[in-house]
Amino acid sequence: MKLQKSVCIDALYTELPFIERFAAAQADGFDYIEFWGHDDKDIDAIERLVNEKHIKISGFNGDADLNLIDPNQQKEYLEYLKKSLSIAQRIGSKSVTIHSNGLGDGGIVLNSYRELSTTLKTAAMYDTLLQCAQLAEQTGININLEPLNIISDHIGNFLNYTSDAADLTRLIGSDKLKILYDVYHMQLNEGNIAGNIDANVDQFGHIHIADTPGRHEPGTGEINYAFVFDYLENAGYTGLIGYELFPLTDTKTAVEAIMSY
């Protein structure tokens, strides 16, 4: 079975105005489009484009600079998530992505909450995720919880490992709350890609792809993506493969590398 491809147009096609990137990605053969935050996007224009050009949206970030691990932000977090889910319904998005910590420009972790214990942060995240799952079930929009690497891109992020994220989603037990397994992030944090797929593929709601080092297209680094894709299929993964990466040279060359898989 061919796994369908999604592409992040905040990372690729950046030589084009944002609204033109949708059609360019569709023309290149991507099945779905994804992007990062929605506060800086013209949602009305995206909605029109989706309806007129039959473009499919796989997801976008639903939490902005808010934190799952701060018990004092729970009300604000859930209100913002409701807004994100409403936008997802408008543009037909399959999912929204959430994180343990709020992220700023360039993905910088805005607050690592070093003053809070691991127990308190985990309990706060679990309690808020329970309510996130209820919102997902009410709206029909999937929510994907994403662990991030703390080696280079998101220093200070709390949720760092596949197993920790999967433990949370298993405990909550909602089909609408899964994890986003980013191969690039998790190769940096934990490695053992095949082992983590075996242990947690039942909790994967979405996959992100980039090579290491550099976060470029497959074939530019150390990860054997031909093996990874076969392994995911053999393990039973049937979701989307999302390409969230920065082209080593240009979008055209990166897309050619992506499509070669």
Residue 10 scores a pLDDT above 80: yes
Provide the terminal-to-terminal Cα distance of the chain, rounded to the nearest Å. 13
- Rounded to whole angstroms, what are the CA distances from 160 to 51, 166, 175, 188? 37, 11, 22, 10
Percentage of the chain exceeding pLDDT 90: 98
Average pLDDT over residues 241-251: 98
Helix (H) or strand (E) holding 183: helix 183-189
- The tens digit of pLDDT for each residue in 161-211 reads 999 999 999 999 999 999 999 999 999 999 999 999 999 999 999 999 999
Q: Which amino acid, one-letter code, is at 242?
A: G
How confident is the model at residue 216, as a pLDDT?
98
How confident is the model at residue 2, as a pLDDT?
80
Average pLDDT over residues 125-133: 98
Residue 133 scores a pLDDT above 90: yes
d(CA 11, CA 238): 24
Contact in structure between 42 and 19 (CB atoms under 8 Å): yes
- The tens digit of pLDDT for each residue in 63-92 reads 999 999 999 999 999 999 999 999 999 999
Q: Which fold has domain 5-11+30-259?
A: TIM Barrel (3.20.20)
What residue ranges do the domains of the chain occupy? Answer: 5-11+30-259
Mean residue pLDDT of the chain comes to 97
Percentage of the chain exceeding pLDDT 70: 100
Contact in structure between 125 and 164 (CB atoms under 8 Å): no
Helix (H) or strand (E) holding 60: strand 57-61
d(CA 26, CA 4): 12
Burial class (CB in 10 A: 0-12, 13-18, 19+), 253: middle
Beta bridge partners of 211: 216
How confident is the model at residue 1, as a pLDDT?
56
Contact in structure between 205 and 180 (CB atoms under 8 Å): yes
How confident is the model at residue 261, as a pLDDT?
87
Q: Which of 210, 208, 67, 206 is nearest to 127 (CA)?
A: 67
